[in-house]
Amino acid sequence: MTTLESPAQAERPAAQTGTGAPAIALENLSHDYGTRRALDGLSFTVQPGEIFGLLGPNGSGKTTLFRILSTLMMPSGGSARIAGFDVTTEPTRARQSSGIVFQARSLDLKLTVAENLMHQGHLYGLSGALLKQRSQQVLARVGLSDRAGDLVETLSGGQQRRVELAKGLIHSPALLLLDEPSTGLDPGARRDLWQYLRILRDEQGVSVLVTTHLMEEAEHCDRLAILNSGKLVALGAPAELKAQIGGDVVQLETVSPWAAAQLAQKVQQRFSVTTAVVGATVRLEREHGHRFLTDVVEAFPGEIEGVSVARPSLEDVFIQRTGHRFWTDANPDAAGTPTPRKEKH
């Protein structure tokens, strides 16, 4: 990875030095598609200089919120402000305060990197020497100064994603909106991308909003909003959210949801713990999970097919708040977290 320009060389984003308004402020934001409620009364803020994740399974409302923040769509109710500007009543100023990187590639492969940036700059009213200077600055920022004259089609997927970032930054926004930024990137390119986002935050004070359905990616964020069916189910730093779960997460597998419901009741009575049934699994939170496992397996011989004990993950936070798993058959790869250690009995 090429070294980025130093903070002294780089200019601070204009809006960041402005009114001190939050990078994003949502108040009771709702959206309906006909009779289908996609966003249901969301209220939270994203502070200047934080990397904020919007985590949720498919259908939770991430794209809808992203489109509203990008001013592509008006919300049905409530308000969304970017750097203090209402996306409904001041869309132009909201747009000027944010750089948007969509999931789908927006680069012209047959043009050079610099030409792509020039086009984007013109869209934001930049031209001449200022645009050239901005173009050089953002390319330095994403470590691609030496590729300015190359056709985009000659760049790797990870490098192209960095050009997308540079495009989003051309007008010095204080906020970057990124829709599922890791999609299609190999692990190395993902690591690079996150390193660049942290540099943008630390050296430029840029705020970043990332939508993701990958827990692994959400772990990189300073704070998260976890969505389920258009509702906010959790808000906070990943470590903070996980720490709210007491002790270890213990899972007892049975042969069927019915057997799990029976076992859950018995475990609850015998050990005075709160249990939850998720499919054919009984799930509970307990200090010293390993010790508890021995007791529970001895207490109910033949009723438990398998057990696992693990430190709480974001998946556990999601289950605790919603009562169901994050991923479904339609969304099987969403966990992105290591499978807990499993011991068969």
Q: Can you give the binding site for ligand ADP, defined by CB under 6 A?
A: 33, 36, 38, 56, 58-64
Taking the complex as a whole, the smallest distance from the CB of residue 100 to ligand ADP amounts, in Å, to: 15
Taking the complex as a whole, the smallest distance from the CB of residue 38 to ligand ADP amounts, in Å, to: 3
Beta bridge partners of 227: 232
112 DSSP 8-state letter: B
- Measure the N-to-C terminal CA separation of the chain; round to a whole number of Å: 48
3/33 with CB nearer ligand ADP: 33
In 3D space, the residue among 294, 265, 290 whose CA is nearest the CA of residue 277 turns out to be: 265
Taking the complex as a whole, the smallest distance from the CB of residue 172 to ligand ADP amounts, in Å, to: 28
64 DSSP 8-state letter: H
64/308 with CB nearer ligand ADP: 64
- Strand residue runs (E) in the chain: 24-33, 36-46, 51-55, 77-82, 85-86, 98-101, 175-179, 207-212, 223-228, 231-236, 248-253, 275-278, 281-286, 306-310, 342-344
Q: State both tokens at 38.
A: 């996609």
Taking the complex as a whole, the smallest distance from the CB of residue 28 to ligand ADP amounts, in Å, to: 17
83/234 with CB nearer ligand ADP: 234
Taking the complex as a whole, the smallest distance from the CB of residue 330 to ligand ADP amounts, in Å, to: 10
69/310 with CB nearer ligand ADP: 69
Taking the complex as a whole, the smallest distance from the CB of residue 210 to ligand ADP amounts, in Å, to: 13
33/187 with CB nearer ligand ADP: 33
Q: State both tokens at 219.
A: 């772990």
* 158/164 Cα distance (integer angstroms): 10
Pairing of strands 51-55, 207-212: parallel
13/61 with CB nearer ligand ADP: 61
110-114: long-range contacts (C-beta < 8 A, 24 or more apart)? 110/151, 110/152, 110/153, 111/151, 111/152, 112/148, 112/149, 112/150, 112/151, 112/152, 113/139, 113/144, 113/147, 113/148, 113/149, 113/150, 113/152, 113/155, 113/163, 113/166, 114/139, 114/148, 114/149
* 144/156 Cα distance (integer angstroms): 12
73/148 with CB nearer ligand ADP: 73
47/58 with CB nearer ligand ADP: 58
192-to-74, 77, 141, 237, 311 alpha-carbon distances in Å: 34, 38, 13, 22, 27
Taking the complex as a whole, the smallest distance from the CB of residue 225 to ligand ADP amounts, in Å, to: 12
Taking the complex as a whole, the smallest distance from the CB of residue 33 to ligand ADP amounts, in Å, to: 3
Q: State both tokens at 213.
A: 């359905």
Taking the complex as a whole, the smallest distance from the CB of residue 4 to ligand ADP amounts, in Å, to: 31
292/326 with CB nearer ligand ADP: 326
